[in-house]
Chains A and B, each alone.
Chain A
Amino acid sequence: MEVNGYYFNDGKAEKEEDAPEKPPEEKELSGGGREDAVAESSGGGVPRERLASHSRTRQRIDSLKKNRPPFPWFGMDIGGTLVKLVYFEPKDITAEEEQEEVENLKSIRRYLTSNVAYGSTGIRDVHLELKDLTLCGRKGNLHFIRFPTQDMSVFLQMGRDKHFSSLHTTLCATGGGAYKFEPDFRTMADLQLHKLDELDCLVRGVLYIDSVKFNGSSECYYFENPTDPDLCQKKPYNLENPYPLLLVNIGSGVSILAVYSKDNYKRVTGTSLGGGTFLGLCCLLTGCSTFEEALEMASHGDSTRVDKLVKDIYGGDYERFGLPGWAVASSFGNMMCKEKRESVGKEDLARATLVTITNNIGSITRMCALNENINRVVFVGNFLRINTLSMRLLAYAMDYWSKGQLKALFLEHEGYFGAVGALLELLNPSQL
């Protein structure tokens, strides 16, 4: 059986393939993943299914060529704080293709793949690159690039300089910025955006990346022994049957989705206390200006100097209500007192901000999980990037407050799933 249920609909696609005009389904574009999945799977039914479809696959690859969009293949997610860009670099370019390839396309490919940083703020997350991926019958590498939304105009300028519009490609974009910046794309870079719903893309991207695996190892992981700091360690998690799943996307704000199947999900709720709040408050409280700086400070701080704990009020546990003494009673509660305000350091404040925001997301998530009767939670979003502190805190909170009933899961490609979903939409438009 295929991983994830993500392929589940592929069966349908094969039945429908009598209609060759129809755009291909996910199966082809995730061919690489499929092989991985099969390699791991020992179920008897799977190979049989593969054999049966073998000759058809050839046929379909031919039809693919016709329907395949021209390069370059991008997927873009324009969030409130960060723009996430995924770029597929084909590695199976034939000599013939090489000759046909226009200069502009070559230059974009070379620019993106030969650099790890773009301008002053653009960054390619090299460690996340997915190698030898088969997408739409093409083999290549998937690159993950991000830059601040603030620098959108610089990006558009670059697009204009590199004559992006001459490539006649469709730029699939999601996130709020796809709407906000649509006119700018048109006027500044002569580009028409294909706007996509961010939650559709997110769900699609998560299910896809998890299914193709992370260069052979697991995309999904969890923390073993989350309540014991000495024994706590990262472990791969097999998200084979993911449904139902609570998907918590922590970007500038937070969206919480309940996912019941590949096409059936709902947004349960959200909160405005997200990554933007952490960074925003840190900037105001400590004068820092980047997420990295804020996290670095937080890692050296002590939040218990800032927060009022249960034991600060009750001298120990509040037994009447089963509250442990170490639990935070009031975030920033010690800061009501002038003397304590004067004695805390910036690092303590950064740490307290991180802990406050993280715990709050944890408790809202836990309540949603209870209300929706779901016991697996996948946390994604760029707030978790290089943020082991928050991940371990979330893992701990889920486990402790649910008495082991809830499991917190994380994905390696944290914030890129919306962009991946947008790319998948380019290659395989959903029939809506």
Chain B
Amino acid sequence: MAASGQMKRSSHSMDKSIILPPDEIFRNLENAKRFAIDIGGSLTKLAYYSTVQHKVAKVRSFDHTGKEAVDEPLYEISVQEEVTARLHFIKFENAYIETCLDFIKDHLVNTETKVIKATGGGAYKFKDLIEKKLQLKVDKEDEMSCLIKGCNFVLKNIPHEAFVYVKHADPEFRFQTTQPDIFPYLLVNIGSGVSIVKVESEDKFERIGGSSIGGGTFWGLGALLTNTKRFDELLQLASRGQHASVDMLVKDIYGGGYSCLGLTGDLIASSFGKSATEDREFSKADMAKSLLHMISNDIGQLACLYAKLHNLNRVYFGGFFIRGHPVTMHTITYSINFFTKGEVQALFLRHEGYLGAIGAFLKGAEEDTDPNQYSWGENYAGSSGLMSVSPELYPMQRTRSGTFPFDMLEMDRLDRQLVNLPLLLDPSSYIPDTVDLTEDAMAREYWLSCFEEALDGVVSRAVASQPDLTDAKERAEKFSQKYQHKLKTLRQQPFAYGSLTVRSLLDTREHCLNEFNFPDPYSKIKQRENDWALKFFHKVVKSLESLNWEERQFSLVKGLLAGNVFDWGAKAVSDILVTDPDFGFEEAKQQLQERPWLIDTYNKWIERLKGPPHKCALFFVDNSGIDIILGVFPLVRELLCRGTEVILASNSGPALNDVTYSELQILTERIAAMDSVIQSGVQKEQLILVQSGSSSPCLDLSRLDKGLATVVRERHTDLVIIEGMGRAIHTNFYAALCCESLKLAVIKNSWLADRFGGKIFSVVFKYEQPCK
């Protein structure tokens, strides 16, 4: 059964002297609307929608018509306020419910909201309290449909939501890649009883079975047997016990294994069988452990029988019995492995505790607009990681220590839908990241330290980017603390936000910068470098034109690589750029590794170029300045001359000194004015600019702007060029496409170069054709 335990702690009142830190919890309440609440047996989950005022850096082209203003910058940068949508989810113990409601009432100002959607076993019980405190009408929603709705939402929108738990393994959490199609699946919700639900589509699900032996049985029977009252204490007790002293094992009956049936001696033949035949005292811990095994095995067995009957192999487990408890995740996993002989894996969800609240919220939201028309992204800055401050872990100790345990999840609405790149060879097996740092301890240690060391530089550039704002320094300091704290958490719990990757570390940094209103710390650097590089564009094109075909092709590639050296994200480079203002295009070329490169399929590329032109090339670009202007555009020009259409894909939002879509629009306009080939390409729509949908220095080809995917499909794209460390090395190095691809980057990090067996400024030039 879905309902969680009705048992409440003896009192719901709490020490009113606890003051909620408003900056940290219940954020953006001023504009909050559409509340939803899920009240379970011990935890309350609150959800609301709010808008966030963000500072964003906007670029606007100066009017250059008429005359060439040589010394003026190409465009101006202004910081503007932008409003984005965000979902907030907060989880706390039921004991705090009254205080929380008071707090919300006091801070809720602009809302037009009249109702609050409510679900969970406690929704009825707290109805009057909620209505009185918030002056909102409580509108009850069916628990199971909320749960399923929430489950669909997280599976679709949060990468690395589902994981497999392997006790004693390193890492213990193995995150699953997001499947393009999440249906059908089985959800086994272990509340006080068990509900087994088959989910076939967004709107179609069915409770195909259940069991009365669930979390309530563990809790109730456990309390009777051991006189231990709290659920988490019972689990702790169980984790210390030895079930074999209470259970009758196969070897207790056989003296050994029952080999002809493949039953090993350690298998439980009869749960609690020893207490039936032996007249002695049994330890509380042993009984609790035996009970835990009995219930987990029983649920696992039923889940397997239902999965088999309905031919389903994705089985997710949730409910308060599972919620963040390694002990129960382990026993359930063990049981599933045993009963399916490893054919089905038990899957768990990072945000399992929020499913009901998310679902209830979505039900309310659907009444005006369909939230499913948007894509959503987990905000790493505003979300607690898995098990980092989880209130269900040892809540007693927390309460005693006077801290106020909250767990939060924030999801940002992305204005456009994100979809797979249609050219992925196998979307279901595509993993963007090259190295999973949860698995690779050495790499993890290196990158965590690397990001820590780079933090001072990031802080100073952030302050420098807002010279006119007096509080910049203070905010930068807060940013630094927040990011440091995230790094510390990740050092202890690398699995906190799913698989830990260089990409997630970079994205977390961007989220934290945004949080403290540093929307684009590199905007001025980008502006300066763009202006500077533009001055050389003509010269570079001219010198290329003087070369013969073969020399020109090599020079183009070399130029692109040299341009890619200008990456403020690489500490080795940013140190040079800060100290040596004269370091330019030619100096960068000098730094490059001579051929043969570290990865070198250049000859194959040249052979291909001697053949017929590509129909259309999709080019994921990287840095501003020299990279885009002197490296990318000459190559684009060459491709256009060959008759190949070019789609330039750039970030929707800023990340490091990566060129953004709006910057690239201005740059392209400017270059078109200087160069007839580019101009004609733009006019004839042979050169088009699209936004990637991303604001990351890395690239996830499974979450790209829908518009990009449409253009790629319409133009029959047959070549994908991915440039830069973040997009071609940290991610997508192994990405398999169903068309030709060229991945190229300069490795600007000696540790990483060393891993690849090379030195700093080694070149990766990886041209691939799809397997026939």
Contact = CB atoms under 8 A, between A and B. Distances in A.
Q: A and B from one assembly?
A: yes
B392 interface: no
Contact of B254 (A180, A272, A341): A180
B216 A308 contact: yes
B557 interface: no
Contacts of B306: 367
B270 A80 contact: yes
Interface string B135-149: 000000010110000
A182 B223 CA distance: 41
B465 to A, nearest CB: 55
A252 B273 contact: yes
Interface in A331-348: 331-338, 341
A370 interface: yes
Contacts of B298: 271, 273, 360
A321 B253 CA distance: 42
B224 A81 contact: no
Contact of A336 (B220, B252, B297, B309): B220
Most A CB within 10 A of own CB, among B5, B254, B274: B254
Nearest to A200: B260
B224 A341 contact: yes
Interface string A350-386: 0000001001100110011011000000000000000
B301 interface: yes
Contact of A281 (B211, B252, B272): B272
B231 to A, nearest CB: 8
Contacts of B308: 371
Interface string B183-220: 00000000111010000000000010111111111011
B70 interface: no
Nearest to B291: A281
B271 A321 contact: no
B3 A356 contact: no
Given A176-B254, A364-B305, A330 B274 contact: no
B7 interface: yes
B266 to A, nearest CB: 12
Contacts of B214: 330-331
B277 A284 contact: no
Interface residues of A, number: 69
B277 A277 contact: no
Interface in A193-252: 197, 199, 251-252
Contacts of B294: 272-273, 277
Nearest to B8: A337
B279 interface: yes
Contact of A275 (B252, B270, B301): B270
Given A284-B225, A332-B220, A337 B7 contact: yes
Interface in A31-87: 79-81
B6 A336 contact: yes
B584 interface: no
Contacts of A269: 301, 305, 339
A181 B268 CA distance: 19
A280 B270 contact: yes
Contacts of B277: 80-81, 148-150, 276, 280
Contacts of B276: 81, 252, 275-280, 283
Interface residues on B, range: 35 or more
B292 to A, nearest CB: 13
Interface in A304-319: 306-308, 310, 312-314, 318
Interface of A is mostly: helix
Interface in B641-680: none
Given A272-B270, A335-B224, A329 B3 contact: yes
Nearest to A175: B253
B283 to A, nearest CB: 12
A176 B306 CA distance: 30
A252 B192 contact: no
Nearest to A81: B277
Given A284-B225, A321-B207, A334 B220 contact: yes
A301 interface: no
B484 interface: no
Contacts of A310: 1
B248 interface: yes
29 contacts: A80-B273, A149-B277, A175-B253, A176-B254, A176-B258, A180-B252, A182-B255, A252-B273, A253-B268, A269-B339, A271-B301, A272-B268, A272-B297, A283-B275, A284-B272, A320-B142, A329-B1, A329-B192, A330-B214, A331-B216, A331-B221, A332-B217, A333-B5, A356-B213, A356-B217, A360-B212, A367-B209, A371-B305, A371-B309
Interface of B: 1, 3, 5-7, 41, 121, 142, 144-145, 191-193, 195, 207, 209-217, 219-221, 223-225, 229, 231, 246-248, 250, 252-256, 258, 260-261, 268-277, 279, 282, 287, 294, 297-298, 301-302, 305-306, 308-309, 339
Interface of A: 79-81, 148-150, 175-177, 179-182, 197, 199, 251-253, 267, 269, 271-281, 283-285, 289, 306-308, 310, 312-314, 318, 320-321, 323, 327-338, 341, 349, 356, 359-360, 363-364, 367-368, 370-371
